[in-house]
Structure 1
């Protein structure tokens, strides 16, 4: 019995267990691996990639390969960043077929002889023997699950295709849920490293003056008083004065308290928590033409 056929001989209990792992992996880094581990014995998949289709772009949701040495990640980066997907006939077909019911599209790599597909064939599918794309729409969002077999293995047979078709709707729903969970999860790293994001939050959630906002934002990203002085083009003692005034307005006494205050306020500001605003002085704020308020300078 060939290796591909052996992988397809799994029990119903094992299949259900692997699917349970996919559900449990929703919203975590394990999702892509769990998806591949479910698909591998089910239909002999070597690589899988999940894409979300936008109006004029695609995003990689998850990817996994049975061989960690395989340059799959690099290939997918080429596919997305160099916009090779625009020449992929499968993605063009997916956009026309997407509807509530998930569908399977057969990818015949050997038919890619058109010169327009040359880059696609040589960069993305040099080792691919066969592929299927499962596509579906959930809550106005379009998703594609691309599964590929390498050349040494046989093409997807009727049984493998039937197995994929049977779980297509479930997988698309799991993928959509995974994306939704990630979208509503706080990105704390971004909140603590993006200066613009920090300043916007400080303006929205406090009565700090402009320079106090700028100083506090740079303290949060980790700059010292000397570093802030150089960045803002003011003296170091001036920085310390703004810092002292800001701490007084926020009723805090040190950088650690500033960090805790900011994380709490950012989470509330972005809608992740329903905590009340920190106790601070409330001086009048001046409204801009857009209707947003900002602190007086």
Structure 2
């Protein structure tokens, strides 16, 4: 396991024009994480990418991770939603990345990185349920605040068929981490989620009304859950507001995404926000 604290200021990079074009394109895309994954694959093989936001939860000092986007390289099944669900349910408190995420939040504008190989995972069930089940060999994560008051991680994974990240590959990815952070900042500033009503209740009401109109196939409870996801509320926060168990929220979310997939929404807050726009 390795950690770094990086200079968040982008340094000059010898990038091809088509790679730069992908960074510039990301804020205009409905699934910017997929565009960033394509950019990374111009540098080295990255099989999966997940964007995770850390959101406050009731009665806890720890902000909890919530999946915003998850993508696979073309030709691979997207295992990120299933892996994240298991991670969120059982393992996130054991993760060194959780500490780094909260540290990045305190540092204000900092950029931290974490490299973990499957054999570094000290919790056997975590290694089995995620890394072994999904055939993952390694993870490289960046923790940062793209805009003030937010904390995100961008997590890059390797399939076992590609082995782990070699030292020179890690160096290339660390070098572009500030550019990824900057691109993500542009995504958030251009996202429809940034144009919000004055209160969260108004935001939820508007999101729910729009969802009801655009996705009438959703049940009332699925609407309630999806509207709150689009508004950036964590699963625990949704459970508390709706007075249901967190597992019920996860079940309703899965049902809703299964229905919304026909409309091009496969999961994640930014996709829902874009769908509502």
**Aligning the two structures, in what range does the TM-score lie when normalised by the shorter sequence?**
0.5 to 0.7
Task: Give the unaligned 5+ runs of structure 2.
Answer: 1-13, 57-62, 197-202, 214-277
Deviation of 1:128 after TM superposition, in Å, equals: 1.3
The equivalent residue for 2:79 is 71
Find 1:120's aligned residue among 117, 123, 126: 126
The equivalent residue for 1:219 is none
Question: CA 1:122 to 1:183, structure 2 compared with 1: closer, same or farther past 3 Å?
Answer: same
The equivalent residue for 2:143 is 135
**Does the 8 Å CA contact 1:51/1:143 hold for their aligned counterparts?**
yes
> For residues 54 and 179 of structure 1, what CA distance do their matches in structure 2 show?
15
**Does the 8 Å CA contact 2:111/2:144 hold for their aligned counterparts?**
yes
**Does the 8 Å CA contact 1:109/1:125 hold for their aligned counterparts?**
yes
> For residues 80 and 143 of structure 2, what CA distance do their matches in structure 1 show?
20
The equivalent residue for 2:193 is 183
* Post-superposition CA distance 1:90-148 (Å, at most 9, x none): 322332355423222111320223xxx23321222221111111111231311111111
> For residues 20 and 193 of structure 1, what CA distance do their matches in structure 2 show?
33
Larger Rg computed on CA atoms: 1
Find 1:91's aligned residue among 91, 98, 107: 98
Task: Give the unaligned 5+ runs of structure 1.
Answer: 1-11, 196-297
Deviation of 1:159 after TM superposition, in Å, equals: 2.0
* Aligned-partner SS, 1:165: helix
> For residues 39 and 210 of structure 2, what CA distance do their matches in structure 1 show?
36
> For residues 15 and 178 of structure 2, what CA distance do their matches in structure 1 show?
20
Q: TM-score, normalised by structure 1?
A: 0.53
> For residues 62 and 71 of structure 1, what CA distance do their matches in structure 2 show?
12
* Aligned-partner SS, 1:152: helix
> For residues 78 and 27 of structure 1, what CA distance do their matches in structure 2 show?
31
> For residues 60 and 19 of structure 1, what CA distance do their matches in structure 2 show?
26
Is 1:47 paired with 2:30? no
Q: How many residues align?
A: 180
**Does the 8 Å CA contact 2:27/2:186 hold for their aligned counterparts?**
yes
Q: TM-score, normalised by structure 2?
A: 0.57
The equivalent residue for 2:182 is 173
Question: CA 1:72 to 1:155, structure 2 compared with 1: closer, same or farther past 3 Å?
Answer: same
* Aligned-partner SS, 1:141: coil
Deviation of 1:70 after TM superposition, in Å, equals: 4.0
> For residues 149 and 125 of structure 2, what CA distance do their matches in structure 1 show?
31
Deviation of 1:77 after TM superposition, in Å, equals: 2.6
The equivalent residue for 1:32 is 33
Is 1:152 paired with 2:154? no
Deviation of 1:88 after TM superposition, in Å, equals: 1.9
**Does the 8 Å CA contact 2:92/2:98 hold for their aligned counterparts?**
yes
RMSD, matched Cα: 2.8
> For residues 164 and 40 of structure 1, what CA distance do their matches in structure 2 show?
10
**Does the 8 Å CA contact 2:100/2:143 hold for their aligned counterparts?**
no
> For residues 184 and 24 of structure 2, what CA distance do their matches in structure 1 show?
9
